[in-house]
Each structure stands twice: as C-alpha cells, then as structure tokens.
Structure 1
C-alpha cells in the first residue's frame, strides 16, 4: 500500500489542519501526488484536503467503521505517492466504549495502520518542557509511533533553540518550527471552519500555507518518516456499501453539503448514479431518480431562500408521494414544517414532516450514535443497526411524527433525538434524523 503518516496533536486548536493543508500544498507543488484522509466524523476538513490535493479525502473512523471498510478506503489511495491523514482532537482522545474497530481516537487509527505520527505541539508559553510533553505522548501507547515533532507558534529564534533542546533531551526528532503567523488562517463559524466552497480566498490561503511550511519545516524529512499501511488490502470493502437507490437525487449546494465522501464513493462503486440538484437555485429532484437524499449542512443560514424556493418545495413534495426521501440533520430540518432562525423568525420548510426546529434556543448536540431503525430508510431495513454521529445546535420545538429509531450514544445512553418518519398513500416514505449515517453496524 501507499506510504502514509498521521498529523496529530495533544489537543484541538494546535494547528493540525493548517499544517496538513500546508504540507499537501507544498508537496503538490513539488509534483507529489498526496491522498488526504481524516480521522473521525468531519465534513469540512476533507473538503479542504480535496481542494489542496485534487483528490477526494475520505474519513477513517475506528468507532463507526469495521476494519475491512477502513482498509478498503485506504486501498483506494493506490495511485498516490503519499498519504497524509489528519487526526481529530488530541491523539488519544476517543469515547469510553469501543466501537467497530476502536474508540475513535487518532491513536487507534495509527495502531491499525502502522502509520507513524507527526506530533504538532503548540509551544507558546513553554520551551524545554515541550520535550517532556512529546515524550509523554511517545510513551503512552507502545503500538503508536511518534516519528517526530513540529513545534508551532514559536515566538523567536531563542525560543526555537530552547524547544529544540528539550526535544533532543527527550530523544525525539524536531521536524521544524513554525513561527506565530496570524496571516495563515481559515475562517470559522459555529460548526467549525467555513466550508471550502464558501471560502473565496482558498487558493491564496493554500499557496501561503504551502510556502510557510516549505520555509520552516524539513518537508523531505517529514515525507521520509512515512510507512506503508500494515492492514490487509481489502479493495472491495467500499463496493459493499449498499446505495439508497439506483438513481439517487442528491441535494448539493452550500445549504446541503455534508455528505461523507466514502458514501458517494461506495454508491458509485456499487453502480449507482448520483443526480445532484441545488435547492438554493430552486431546483427540484430529478423525476428520473428513484430516491432522494438531503444531506446536512447549513439550512439555518439560508432558511429564507429555502422558504422562497417554491419549485424545490413543490417538486420534492410531489416526488415524496411515490418514492423514498431521506434527510440527515440539516436535510431533516428542511423536510419539516418550519425552521426558526436565531432572530426568532419562522420560515416555512417543505412540510413533508411535522418537525419544527429552532436556532433561537441553541444547544449543542454532539457525539457518536448507534441507531436501531423502527422503519426502513433508503439502503437499510427496519431493525437494522447503523453507526454515525450527531452534531448540531438546533432545538426541537415539535416532532409529531412516528420515531424513526431508538438512538443511543457511544456509552449506551438513550438519546432523545430519534428522528421521525411518515408514509404516503402513493407508496412514498419520508424519513429523517439528526443522526448522520457512517456505516452499518
């Protein structure tokens, strides 16, 4: 398999994404073909990886995905020269209970793949002590290899000298030091980074990040630490994902963009045809499709436009009378009766479900989920178990329809956001949930 490495850190906010994008951009400029991956559930970082590398970036999730699926996705990178996988949170941060192939920590992915870790340390406020921090991470798990350290937010040449001294005392390689730089910055909003397709200056940001990395890091040394994946080569695993239909009408614009690349890859590998449409352009699902899928995204930022998109709303209502429609998170909210924005204004949604949600009363809902379906959704029958996650700030005001699933978190605790469903006389069925599907359990 292609040689790979993992970019990780002790915590979120240390500069993993900026370093990952800078490395991809710098290597691409050198003619290196880089395949990106992202540990855990994340829609936004893989989209940035794809813009930087020109290749789709897949999520690798040890809590939700079985080993064969992870191996199959890694095998799809055979044409690349190098794999760079970006970690999530801190290296050892995961849930308390083991899932399909681990607890969701980046360390689990490192142990499964055998890829070495490049540890990013925010050294602001410390000097030689950075060596002690890195040494602790190197000793934590014998099945995880720390190949070297990148020091970030270095204040001065003197500061860099002391950081390097501490790392040398710990016996760890310093792969470079990045000075403080507020110019290389990705815009953010309430769910994290602003989406790649909404970032007008993305090309300039990537160019600057690539130049910054080339100037301050030993890029050749970083590339040299990469190792081949030690997992079995299960190239057929992604093809075994069951698509929701043969012809899938997929909502795709900045309001509906959170669909996992590995699902699209698996659907296409199984022979399905994806027919995209843009609700914000007032487009309805293609009547030639046999199923409609509304992904998550940011409908709350575009609620007025959705309410005014008469052709989209009426076309989707007509479609749903005879065929299945499924919505995840933002797509679920759009299928409901109304959405109340942060200012308290109510916007009429499609009305295929009775759901009313509010951003006036914000509360974060975050975590892995395992759902037992009460009713079928496209690709999964009633009684099926599905693994995924939930991440939103909306509050349910009304949810009058039948519950779609019994949902529990990673620790087995019941979750009140069950989703809902409704059937129609013409044979159609509308289902929706705040739960984002990752893999069948």
Structure 2
C-alpha cells in the first residue's frame, strides 16, 4: 500500500513538472544579456537556433537592431515588432537580418512608426539595402518601405525601380509630389494609400495592373497621366479627391469618362518630328506639336520672276499653328539658280537665303507661310528647262509639257502662269504653247549654234 502511494506522488509530481516545462517552453524568451539593446526586445528562439524579434519595448528615437541576442544571431523581425514605436525616428538593420516579416510585405513592419524618418541597412546585408533612408531589396529594384515622416516633399522614383512593395509609402506625412522615372512592373496593395499631404501624382506606366496606386488620400490630388498609359486599375483613386489631367485621344481620357472622375485636357509637349507632303514632296523637320499635320497648297505666282509659289502651313484640328522653334524646310525643284522669298501678309518679301542641295531648296524658319521660288537671273529665250543653256534638251522639255505630262508632284513641266518664263518660250508670240513653238525653237537653236 505504501509503495502505491509513493508511485502516485511521483506520478503527480512528474506531471506537474512536465506541465510547467511545456508552459515555459511556449513563452517567448526575453533577452537577459548585459547588452542594453538586447533587453529592450521580446524575441523567439527558432528551431534553427536563430532569433526572431517579436516586440521592441524601448524608448529610443534611434533604434539599432542587435546582431545577436544571448549569442544567437538575429535573423528575422516580426510584423508587429516596431508597431507601437511612435517616437522612433531611425532604425538600423544589421547584416544578420535576412527576413522582415514575410517576403513582399516588409512595409508592414514600419506602418505604425509615425515619427520614422530613416531606415539604414548594413552594407553587408545580403537581402536588403538602403539609400537616403529608404529601404530597398538588395539590388534596389524594389522599394520596400519609405519612412512615414521622411522630411522630403518631392520624390522621383529612380528608373531602376520596377516594383513598389506592399504599404511601401503608406500614410506618408510629407510627400506632396511623386514622379516616376521609369515603368513599374508590379505594385503591392496600399503602396500609396492614405497619404496625408499629396498634391501631385504623375501616374506611371504599369505593366501588371494588379493593385491600384492611390487610395483614400486625405487631400485633393492632381494626377497627370501620359498618353502612353494603357492600363489603369478599375478601383484606382477610390476614396480620393482627384482631378485627372489627360490627353485627347488617349486611353486615360476614355477611362476617366467611364469612371466619372473630374478631368482636364492637357496640351501635349512639342516633339521632334518630320512631315512630308506627298503631292509636292515638300518636307519640314523640327520641333512641333505632336498632332501637327503638314498642309501645302500650290498657289498663283504673284511675285516677279517666280517659277513656283507654295502656301506651307502646319495645322492641328483644322487650325493653323506654328512650329515650336526653328524648323528645316525642303522644297524640291528642277529650277536651279532660284532664291526662296517669304511673301509676307503686308505685301513685303524676305529672302530666306535658301541653299540648293540634292535637288531641293533648303532653309530654316520659325514661321511657316507663303514662299515663292524666284529666278535670280534673266530667263534666256527658249530656255524651257531653265538650266541656262539653249539646246535640244529644251526642245524635248517643251514637247513633254505640250503632251500634258506632269512632274512627280503633279505640277506642269512649265509654269505658264510665270509671265517672264512664258514669254521666253512662246517662240511665235501667239499667246499659247504648241507644236509651232517646238518648231520655232528648233529653228532658233540651229541658227544660233
């Protein structure tokens, strides 16, 4: 009987000891190292003998995460570790830390640190990096966390950055303008939500429209959307007061109308472009409105000795516009030894100092208008092709014209409206060009050679 009681006593005692042991094992280990920053953390010792920080209990403004606690390396930080650290202004992450909560959700760790201005990562860390107080992945292609109270008001996200992490800019207090220098491959949820003072946002080209950019901003935001944007999330700008600045004939304008947001139409910035008139072959090249179209009309020659006159304009939506700076004009012509005259609206004319190159008169101007090609020498009798030589080529040229053939631009071989030219070719002076003039020209050449 006595032995039975002893067995029961030891059995109960062992059961209590085991229960206490199990309870103790379930409680996170609290640091007891002599190092000051170790005792400020609650942490969990994982099966691989590495430490995960679970709660910061200190009051420092500048927090340094320890590399080790009680000899164990600190390799991870739990989501809520710093959540209650309202006064924390900077956090230093050592090289030993390879995990911040869950991969892709690193921004959550700092979402409660309303005073945080800077996150600094040891340069030897293999998974993370930092620049100017911003947390990145190692190769800086992804922004993981932008401190809530970082004092900058404007940011241009570098071209190298192709991803924005979950809650990366969440609740930022100071940013008023956000721009992107490149395209974004993906964005995490709430990346730019609840921004306190944002006023301007330049919408980036998003390759994968997985989450909206702006949600529930606290101020009115002007959002600028370029013409090459072709993806906008259907839930974009929910809970935000925005005006969208878009371009005519753009995906963004159609999307804005469909979703009922206030918008303004922007004028597109001028671009370098070249235009060609297919009828005359006239070309213009330079900086002009992106929607500019070239219009060329061949008009009556009114300037003395002119062989061709063109009204050259740029037009947009049917209205005449001017280039944004100097542009180059090229006017093809078979007539050499001409000068290009700008025929102004007040009746005066200005020499454009054009150069004859590769069959074109080339000049620069910042104001398109009416231009005349004017012979700068007296036309010789019988010089049908105006090359300064009277020979069989002029006979052929006159015959082709009388037969009704045209230049490649659709114009007549001989401009009969040019009185000086006409008088020199109308060999029999009957007021018209005909086979009789061809015969008279042949006789004239034979008598003068």
What interval of TM-score do these two structures reach, taking the shorter chain for normalisation?
under 0.3
TM-score if structure 2 supplies the norm length? 0.23
Please identify which structure carries the higher helix content.
Answer: 1
